[in-house]
Amino acid sequence: MNKINLSPSLEVSRFVAGFWRLKEWKMSSREILNYIEELLETGVTTFDHADIYGQAQCEALFGEALKLKPELRTKIQIVTKCGIIQKFDSNLKKNFQYYDTSYEHIIESVNRSLRNFGTDYIDLLLIHRSDPLMNPEETAKAFKELRDSGKVLNFGVSNFSIADFEMLNHYFDNKLVTNQVEISPYDLEHFENGNISFFQKEKIHPMAWSPLAGGKLIHPDDDASRRIHRKLSEVAEELGIKSIDVLIFAWLLRHPVGILPILGTGKIERIHQALKALEISLSTENWFKIYEAGLGHSVP
C-alpha cells in the first residue's frame, strides 16, 4: 500500500483504521492485538483514536493490547484527539458536552493518553472540534511544550473551518499537518465551504471520517441517500464492481487532494474489501456522476 507523508516525521497509510467503537466490539486484549497485526499485514499502519471514545476507555483498551507485544509500537502511527469534555447532567438525564482547548487541559489530556496507550509519544494529536472560546496562543503554547518534550511529534485539527485552521496555524511555529473532516458522496460540505480547495492550496491531506455516511449509503434511509445509492449502484454495475462501499472509497481516493479514509470497522474482511478500491481507476465522468448525485442536481 502506498504511504502518504503528512510531514517530514510522519508517514501514514493510505487508509486509516478507526477505533471509535472499539469498546462495542467486545474484544479481549489478545483479540485486539490479533486485529492490529492483521491490519499491519494489509498495510494499514495508522490508527485513529480520541480521548473520549468509548466513554474514555478505547485508548486504554488499545494500550492493553499493545502491552502484549510492545515492539509493534514502532510499526504503527497513533493518532488521537482532545478538546471535548463530556459529563453526565443528572437534571437533563443526558451527557453535557463542551470544549476545552486550554493549555492545562491539553497537557493533562495528552499525559492521560500516553498512560492509556502505554507509550511515551503520540505520532499525531488533533484538536477534536473548533472551540469558540479557544485562545490560540494558549493552545499553541501547549503544542510547543508537547513537541519540545517529545510527547507529541505532529499536530493537526478535526472539524475545523478554514478561518479556525489558519488562526491556530498562525500562532503555532510548526505547520498543522491535517484536518480530519466528514467527507462522503452524502456529505459534500467541505467541497462547498472551500475546505477542499484550501487543503489543495496548502498541500494538506485531509482524513475523512464517516466515508460511508454512517452506513446511509449502504442502507439508505432518506431521499438523499436513496438517490446517491441508486447512482452508486448504476456506476458499480457499469464497472463490474460488486460492492458499493468499494466504489465509494474509490471515489474518495480519486480526488487529487489525497483523502485518507478512516475505516471504522472491527472486521478484517471489511478492511480487505475496502482496500480493493486501491485497484480501481475511476474516470472523471463517473466521479462526477456520483458527485452530482450527492449535490442533487447537475453541475452548471
Q: Which of 248-285 are b and which e, b meaning 16 or more Cβ less than 10 Å from the residue's Cβ?
A: bbbbbbbbebbbbbbbbbbebeebebbbbbeebebeee
Question: Under a CB-based contact definition with an 8 Å cutoff, are residues 236 and 250 in contact?
Answer: no
Domain spans in the chain, listed from the N-terminal domain onward: 3-177
Q: How confident is the model at residue 93 (pLDDT cuts 50, 70, 90)?
A: low
Candidates 53, 171, 186, 291; catalytic one: 53
Contacts of 192 (CB under 8 A, 6+ apart): none
> Does residue 56 surpass a pLDDT of 70?
yes
Quick one: CA torsion of 5, 35, 82, 73, rounded to 10 degrees? -60
**CATH class for domain 3-177?**
alpha beta
> Does residue 117 surpass a pLDDT of 90?
yes
Distance of CA 239 to the CA centre of its chain: 28
pLDDT of residue 111: 98
> Does residue 298 surpass a pLDDT of 70?
yes
* Whether residue 35 lies in the annotated active site: no
Which of 159, 160, 122, 161 lies closest to 142 in space, CA to CA? 122
Question: Under a CB-based contact definition with an 8 Å cutoff, are residues 273 and 245 in contact?
Answer: yes
Question: Under a CB-based contact definition with an 8 Å cutoff, are residues 282 and 254 in contact?
Answer: yes
